[in-house]
Structures are given as C-alpha cells and as structure tokens.
Chain A
Amino acid sequence: GESVGLHLPTLSVQEGDNSIINCAYSNSASDYFIWYKQESGKGPQFIIDIRSNMDKRQGQRVTVLLNKTVKHLSLQIAATQPGDSAVYFCAENRPGAGNMLTFGGGTRLMVKP
C-alpha cells in the first residue's frame, strides 16, 4: 500500500539550536497529518496536527508546515532541548479512512548538550 517515507534517518543537533524534521507523503488525497514523538520504551506521544486547509500551525516550541504541492510535511522544534531526543513520526489520514493513520518510518533526533 501507499506509505509515508519508510526509513529512519538521524538528525543530530546542538542543544539550543532549532531542529527541522522532514516527511514526504505519497497520497495526494491525505487531508490530515499528525506528528508524534516516541521515546524509548514508550508509546508515541501526540505533538501537533494539521489539516490540509492550512499551511502552517504552531504549538509550544513546535511548528508544522505543510506543502501540498510537493506532498511534504515538516516539524520545526525551536530551541531544542535534551528532552527532545526521541524518534519522530509523521502520520497521515485520508477521507473515508476513519481514524486509520499511515505512518512514516521515523527520524531519530539526537540533541547534544
């Protein structure tokens, strides 16, 4: 089936810097996107979501950008902290799929103190 970027790259950043995690999705019908953070031994933790009628959404220290033209999603984390170290997943949903989410492969974020 269609997938959202199946691989696990690693992003290493210095504490205090901004982080940008990218995600490509393949289904142009997708209209809802979520970012999750998963720490070792834990379930995915909801970070922020965005619907396709928006290009940008901001939360606390996080911003999600959606570019529907190139089917690209990004998560920006401001002033990255050691506690941000985790694997980050993007997930998408499309109309008619209920609450079914299709996940990307994830990106590991490592924050150097």
Chain B
Amino acid sequence: KAGVTQTPRYLIKTRGQQVTLSCSPISGHRSVSWYQQTPGQGLQFLFEYFSETQRNKGNFPGRFSGRQFSNSRSEMNVSTLELGDSALYLCASSLGGAITEAFFGQGTRLTVV
C-alpha cells in the first residue's frame, strides 16, 4: 500500500509569489490535514479536509487556503508569499470520521527568498 505522497519535495519562491502544494493520501483515506513545521514554532495545524469539506482550520491568515478533490487528493495554496512562510509543509492522511492514526508524508520544503 503506497504511503502519503507530497509533491514537490522542494520549492524556492520569491516574496509576493504564490505556491500550490499537493498531497495524495493513502488509498481509502478520506481525511487530509496540513501542518506547517518551523524550528521556532514547531508543528502547527493549518487545516483539515474530509470528504471535500474543510472540517477544521488553524490560526493562519487567509493567504493560506486548501481544497480536497473527490479522489481525496488535496492541495494547499499560499498567496503573496512572505519570508516567514519558509517552512516544511506536511500532509497527514487519516481514514476520516472519528480520530484514528494519522500518517504523514515526507513534506514539501518551501523556501521564500
């Protein structure tokens, strides 16, 4: 069974640009959550999608958005990039419904210059 796949693995963007990251969950999993990991703030929850609907949202500005498709794949978008958005963005896949084990992908390392 394939794990969680995140693409791309690495990105370098310029301030003011926008970026889209992709996550393919484990087959059969319907919940996808996104996290931002930085040395200073640790792992912080961005949002969760379940059955194409945003179920929970963390304390991030509106520049951070996401969506989920009917095949459970998810994308997150960050607009008007700032230097502080440089981070490892992680996607977690869960069966959905009630809380169960969440499995993470390798992450996308975003560097904003």
Contacts and interface: CB of A to CB of B under 8 A. Distances in A.
A89 B104 contact: no
Contacts of A98: 31, 48, 50, 55-56, 99
Interface in A37-83: 41-46, 49
Nearest to B105: A43
B92 A101 contact: yes
Overall SS of chain B's interface: strand
Nearest to B6: A43
Please tell me the size bucket of the interface on B. Answer: 20 to 34
A99 B33 contact: yes
Contacts of A106: 42
A34 B102 contact: yes
Contacts of B58: 100
Interface string B78-104: 000000000000101010100111111
B107 interface: yes
